[in-house]
Structure 1
Amino acid sequence: MSPGPASRRLVLRVGGRLAVGAAVVWAVFTVVFGILRVLPGDPVSLAANADASGAPPSPAAIAALRAQYGLDRPLWQQYFAAWGDFVRGDWGTSVVTGRPVTTSLLEALPSTATLAAAALALGALAAFALAYIATYRPDGVLARVVGQIPSVLVSMPTFAVGLVLIQVFAFGLRLLPGFGDDGFAALVLPAVTLAVPVAGYLGQVMAAGMREAADQPFVEVARAKGASDAMVHLRHVSPAAALPALSALGVFVGSALAGAVVVETVFSRAGLGRLTQQALTAHDGPVMLAVVVVSAAIFVVVTLIVDLVGPLVDPRARGAA
């Protein structure tokens, strides 16, 4: 049996999104590759260690390292060789540590993924609570006060939030560890720190969706049937925040990955953030290129999933698909 029109549209839609996603990853690779080649500082010279007498490395040693990493070839050859290796899964070797970049990424990714997932979950719960209170009775004093909290959360610097939490809960109350990544307790403060901006942005998105839904005719119909205000707001108004929140999920995943650089540095956690910070400090091009492109690929995959799941969450989105 041949596939129906709906199946063909789905296949074309997924194929189109995959093509766009592949183009985005390629563009990110190209831009980062170019930036790394024009940045001041030679990573090979920085990575070359002095000999036992303390003398600087010889030109011959530096030339050998440049040949080892392919940096002695013309730029266009370096680009195509790097892209071909990247597509095949060979992401090179760290100029600083000499370890395969793939190994470093696989070791760092689980910690960052756990931190980002915990932060997104906490941020979503806090955002829903803030949006619900701010829109339940919008003319009340509590709603007006709570409605300003997301803007405050967005404006708070992530590193400052982390330092305050460490000072209060680690040094002051001694309830939670302030540094490291050993166990669940060490995850709490970094996750809360990373969840603060997520709750702010997502709270604004959810509140806007709830305010728009509250003015729709179906809300008055539900009230006319005898449902209480709280039940109407929970069962009919609140679900309207799901689609805009889901649509923004890709942005929040990207924000969480970017925020992990700061959070993992503040809390001394091993992960993609710390790996990125160390690579930037040492001008470790292969690691920097792999981290940025992998982060872009994660963003593309999450965006694709959201785009496919959105019509299932809200049937009104199917017509626009």
Structure 2
Amino acid sequence: MIAFLIRRIGTAILVVFTVSLLAFMLVRLAGDPAAAIAGEGATPADIERIRILYGFDKPWFHTYLLWLERIFNGDLGYSPITRQDVSAMIAKALPVTLTLGGMAMLFAMMLSLPLGIIASLKPNGLVDRIVLAITVVFQAMPVFWMGLLLLLYFGLYWRLFPTGGDATLKHFVLPAAALGLFASPGLIRLTRAGMLDALASDYVRTARAKGMSEMTIVLRHTIPNAMIPVVALAAVECGTLLGGSIVIEAVFSLNGLGQLAWRAIQRLDIAVIQGVVLVVAVIYILLTLFADFLNAFLDPRIRVK
């Protein structure tokens, strides 16, 4: 188990370094960062001063190492456009995105697991066909359209929830539901497939031959084994929700990382773009690492391999 953990942690560290290098290089390849920081009305002398100030006149690997050194010291840089530290900007926006992603994943799991389990108990039956039809509808509907429908009916017509803002948890219900419905089709189908494989396995047939009740077989034997791939997909989906919430944040006026990144892209705020990409990537990698550890705990065959 220790060797398994060391291998996974080592891989995660390498991935973090790779993402940081890609984030650094892609922004540099997008154009002259000094000109972007200086703005449209800057003179060549102003651009040259900024290039020297930020170290853009030095080789790229030298600037990259300086950037990494600042990151290890907890400094993600300074935004000359907003005149704020990038760390402070991200620290203000991150709780909004984490709350939205966490509630969305909770909603998706609460919806997906029961539907996937119920659909698997009688495959190709009426309930199974209804559940599969629901997954097709949710997957085909764009997330922004889902958000607009929820906003229209639950926010404007019936006035059950706020239509925008992030002051209370109630403000996150509709955007979390929109993201959760968007993430649920894959989880439903994977839960159903895992349950069908488990129900057709030899140990389930043995348990039935011993006279165990169907409820006991489902709860004690099939669900724990069927949840192993679902856990891995849930971690990936959670990272995807965190990184892809920009549309929902715009629809519901949430000031999270998605909106922060979008405004930074519009203003070519390089330091903010790099900081947001790095933070989202680290969160995504940590979620994947947690899923690996949890899967290894649930299934000893994974850590043995």
- What TM-score, normalized by structure 1, do the two folds share? 0.87
Do structure 1's residue 154 and structure 2's residue 139 form an aligned pair? yes
Equivalence map 1:23-34=2 (5 Å) = 23-34=14-25
Equivalence map 1:282-293=2 (5 Å) = 282-293=267-278
Q: Secondary structure of 1:275's match? A: helix
Q: Secondary structure of 2:244's match? A: helix
For these two proteins, the number of residue pairs brought into alignment is 305
Listed as ranges, the gaps of 5+ residues in structure 2 are none
Aligned alpha-carbon RMSD (Å): 2.2
* Residue 77 (structure 2) aligned to one of 78, 89, 92: 92
CA distance in 1, matches of 2:7, 2:217: 39
Note if contact 1:119-1:191 (Cα within 8 Å) is conserved in structure 2: yes
The CA deviation at 1:131 is 0.4
* Residue 22 (structure 1) aligned to one of 7, 13, 22: 13
Equivalence map 1:58-207=2 (5 Å) = 58-207=43-192
Do structure 1's residue 281 and structure 2's residue 266 form an aligned pair? yes
The CA deviation at 1:146 is 1.0
Note if contact 1:123-1:199 (Cα within 8 Å) is conserved in structure 2: yes
CA distance in 1, matches of 2:95, 2:109: 21
Aligned to 2:207: 222
Letter in 1 for 2:151: I
CA distance in 2, matches of 1:193, 1:261: 13
Note if contact 2:239-2:287 (Cα within 8 Å) is conserved in structure 1: no
Q: Secondary structure of 1:237's match? A: helix
The CA deviation at 1:57 is 4.0
Of 13-22 and 92-101, more deviation after overlay is shown by: 13-22
Listed as ranges, the gaps of 5+ residues in structure 1 are 1-9, 51-55
Note if contact 2:79-2:272 (Cα within 8 Å) is conserved in structure 1: yes
Aligned to 2:233: 248
Q: Secondary structure of 1:248's match? A: helix
Note if contact 1:194-1:259 (Cα within 8 Å) is conserved in structure 2: no
The CA deviation at 1:45 is 4.5
* Residues 96-131 of structure 1 deviation map (CA, whole Å, 9 limit, x = unaligned): 212111111111111111111111111011111220
Of 300-309 and 124-133, more deviation after overlay is shown by: 300-309
The CA deviation at 1:228 is 4.5
The CA deviation at 1:206 is 1.0
Aligned to 1:38: 29
Letter in 1 for 2:286: V
- What TM-score, normalized by structure 2, do the two folds share? 0.91
Note if contact 2:195-2:226 (Cα within 8 Å) is conserved in structure 1: yes
Note if contact 2:37-2:270 (Cα within 8 Å) is conserved in structure 1: no
